[in-house]
Amino acid sequence: MSKGKSAIMIGQLRGGTATIVGIVIATGAVVFIQNAAAQNRLEEGREKFRQMATVFQHPRCMNCHPRTDFPRQGDDRHRHTMNVMRGPADRGAPGLHCSTCHQSSNQTASGVPGAPDWHLAPPRMAWDGLSAAELCRALLDPARGGMKPNQFIPHFQTGLVRWAWSPGAGPHGEMRNAPPIPYERFMVLTREWIDRGAPCPNS
Q: What φ, ψ does residue 101 adopt, rounded to 5°?
A: -110, -35
Q: Please tell me the predicted confidence (pLDDT) of residue 5.
A: 61
Mean predicted confidence (pLDDT) in 170-193: 96
Mean pLDDT of the chain: 89
pLDDT in tens, 103-128: 999 999 999 999 999 999 999 999 99
3-state SS, residue 73: strand
Using an 8 Å Cβ cutoff, are 71 and 120 in contact? Answer: yes
Number of Cα atoms under 13 Å in the Cβ half of residue 134: 8
Q: Please tell me the predicted confidence (pLDDT) of residue 159.
A: 97
pLDDT in tens, 70-81: 999 999 999 999
Mean predicted confidence (pLDDT) in 79-92: 96
Confidence of residue 39 (pLDDT cuts 50, 70, 90): confident
3-state SS, residue 191: helix
Q: In sequence order, what DSSP letters do the residues of 37-82 get, joined into one string?
A: HHHHHHHHHHHHHHHHHHHHTSHHHHTTS-SSSS-EETTTTEEPST
Confidence of residue 163 (pLDDT cuts 50, 70, 90): very high
Higher pLDDT, 40 or 23: 40
Q: What φ, ψ does residue 99 adopt, rounded to 5°?
A: -70, -10
Q: Please tell me the predicted confidence (pLDDT) of residue 128.
A: 92
